[in-house]
Structure 1
Amino acid sequence: MTNVIPFDYEGQFIRFNTDGWINATDIAKRFGKEPNDWLVQRDSIRYIAALSKAIGKGDLLREFNIIKQLDGVRSASKAKMLRLAKKSGLVITKAGSEGGTWLHPKLAVVFARWLDVDFAVWCDLRIDALMRGELSAMQEFEKACRALDDQNAKGSLAGRELASHRWVKPALESRADYWRQELQMALPIDS
């Protein structure tokens, strides 16, 4: 996820991106839960399937109807529900420093409600501020993020060039010294 914005919720940072996606892994930890525990519930998968169809991401209801016939307790059933959630495009899992399970803004409040009703209200207000907030402030933030990314890329390139220079410079200096001496020997000496 790009352009991650951390919001403080009672002393803990909750990460959103500028499109309103929320890092479910961060917030689930705060409440002693795991995102997968929510994602393998039939009601959650039913909601994800219906939302996916409603916003044009695909009709997953037929697959959901097949899955709901399975025993929801078995690990094979849970794995199928997780695959369906990811297939929707509304749930993204990433590794690394910006990793975790990221939920589409339309899922964030439903997930937050499962965690805690007060947190759900807070979450809804943050998403609303991101999505409908002052556009110029959002544009300035995105511009600042792009400028920072560009500068980091330039710094990285400069660092590589400097490292290369450190190894190439002695050979070039030696070559220049050699030809300086050759040139001095070749010049006529006037008396």
Structure 2
Amino acid sequence: MAKITVQNTQITVIKQNEDDYISLTDMLKAKDGEFFFSNWLRNRNTIEFLGIWERLMNPNFNCAEFDIIKSQAGLNRFRLSAKEWTEKTNAIGIISKAGRYGGTYAHKDIAFEFAMWISPEFKVYLIREFQRLKDEEQKQLGWTAKRELSKINYRIHTDAIKQNLIPEEVTAAQASIIYAEEADVLNVAMFGQTAKQWREAHPELKGNIRDYASINELICLANMENINAVLIDEGVPQGDRLVRLNQIAINQMRVLENDDNRNLLK
């Protein structure tokens, strides 16, 4: 569940079968006067729009029942609730939910159409705020992906350090220093600075140097962790490993940054 604010009206957005559904109940609060969802649903143009959408998106849509409803739409006596619409036609575009966040929700395609009934201006702002929400979700997704990517070869790397570089009898504090030193071998090879140097240069930022790395840089880091583990197993001295890893980082970044698909990686 998420919330967006459109012209001082807070509107709930939920996920339903991986699709975004927007609260029509919340949207109604932005319309002046006493109006209900059924006022919009009884309109013939609304029924025709919903029917077209359901035929495209819903293989189980009851077209026969829809034709009956369509024939009555627009008449003075015609009334239709969201529940009746869903039950009679097996519609999926509009749903009713109970509980704390209950109300009538509609697929974003239908919700944007409903917004026009409130006002053209409201529709424009709704689309803009919804897109802003989607952009924020993508940023969060990218951050999570980057963090997960940075962990791909972490276990292999730390196991190599433990087996080859840490003596059998050391304290936990001493072992952590060795792990940190090896992590900084990668940091220096990739970024040209240690974690401590980065923190001192960026006291205003939270997290660590890898939190602010690009996807391309994290791909290189993941590869370098694996390569460094192999070099450690082979007994290559730390200084020599640093030089080789730096060369690898330069070559791999050159390939990634010049790749025709680099926009997919960033």
Instruction: Please say whether Structure 1 and Structure 2 have the same fold, judged by a TM-score greater than 0.5.
Output: yes
User: Taking structure 1 as reference, are residues 114 and 139 closer, same or farther at Cα in structure 2, changes over 3 Å only?
Assistant: farther
Counterpart position of 1:48: 50
From 124, 127, 136, the equivalent of 1:124 is: 127
Counterpart position of 1:84: 85
Please say if 1:110 is aligned against 2:113.
yes
Mapped contact 2:86–2:92 kept (Cα < 8 A): yes
Counterpart position of 2:206: none
Give, in angstroms, the shift of residue 81 of structure 1. 7.8
User: Taking structure 1 as reference, are residues 23 and 96 closer, same or farther at Cα in structure 2, changes over 3 Å only?
Assistant: same
Counterpart position of 2:9: 12
Give, in angstroms, the shift of residue 116 of structure 1. 0.6
Distance in 2, Cα, partners of 1:97 & 1:80: 21
Give, in angstroms, the shift of residue 93 of structure 1. 0.9
Mapped contact 1:67–1:81 kept (Cα < 8 A): no
Distance in 2, Cα, partners of 1:41 & 1:81: 13
Distance in 1, Cα, partners of 2:30 & 2:56: 31
Mapped contact 2:5–2:129 kept (Cα < 8 A): no
Mapped contact 1:52–1:88 kept (Cα < 8 A): yes
User: Taking structure 1 as reference, are residues 80 and 21 closer, same or farther at Cα in structure 2, changes over 3 Å only?
Assistant: closer
Distance in 1, Cα, partners of 2:134 & 2:47: 25
For each residue in 1:146-184, what CA deviation from the matched residue of structure 2 results, as whole angstroms up to 9, or x when unmatched? Answer: xxxxxxxxxxxxxxxxxxxxxxxxxxxxxxxxxxxxxxx
CA RMSD of aligned residues (A): 2.8
Mapped contact 1:21–1:103 kept (Cα < 8 A): yes
Query: Which one-letter code corresponds to 1:79 in the other structure?
Result: L
From 34, 37, 40, the equivalent of 2:36 is: 34
Query: Which one-letter code corresponds to 1:58 in the other structure?
Result: N
Structure 2 gaps, min length 5: 145-266
* SS of structure 1 residue aligned to 2:3: strand
Distance in 2, Cα, partners of 1:35 & 1:90: 14
User: Taking structure 1 as reference, are residues 67 and 105 closer, same or farther at Cα in structure 2, changes over 3 Å only?
Assistant: same
Structure 1 gaps, min length 5: 142-191
* SS of structure 2 residue aligned to 1:79: coil
Counterpart position of 1:70: 72
Mapped contact 1:20–1:131 kept (Cα < 8 A): no
For each residue in 1:116-135, what CA deviation from the matched residue of structure 2 results, as whole angstroms up to 9, or x when unmatched? Answer: 10111111223334456552
Distance in 2, Cα, partners of 1:11 & 1:97: 21
- Identical columns (%): 24
User: Taking structure 1 as reference, are residues 114 and 80 closer, same or farther at Cα in structure 2, changes over 3 Å only?
Assistant: closer
User: Taking structure 1 as reference, are residues 5 and 47 closer, same or farther at Cα in structure 2, changes over 3 Å only?
Assistant: same
Mapped contact 2:2–2:14 kept (Cα < 8 A): yes
Distance in 2, Cα, partners of 1:7 & 1:105: 13
For each residue in 1:10-61, what CA deviation from the matched residue of structure 2 results, as whole angstroms up to 9, or x when unmatched? Answer: 3221111254311101111220322221122221121111101112343444
Counterpart position of 1:25: 25
Compute the TM-score of the two structures, normalised by the length of structure 1. 0.60
Give, in angstroms, the shift of residue 63 of structure 1. 2.3
Compute the TM-score of the two structures, normalised by the length of structure 2. 0.44
From 54, 58, 71, the equivalent of 2:60 is: 58
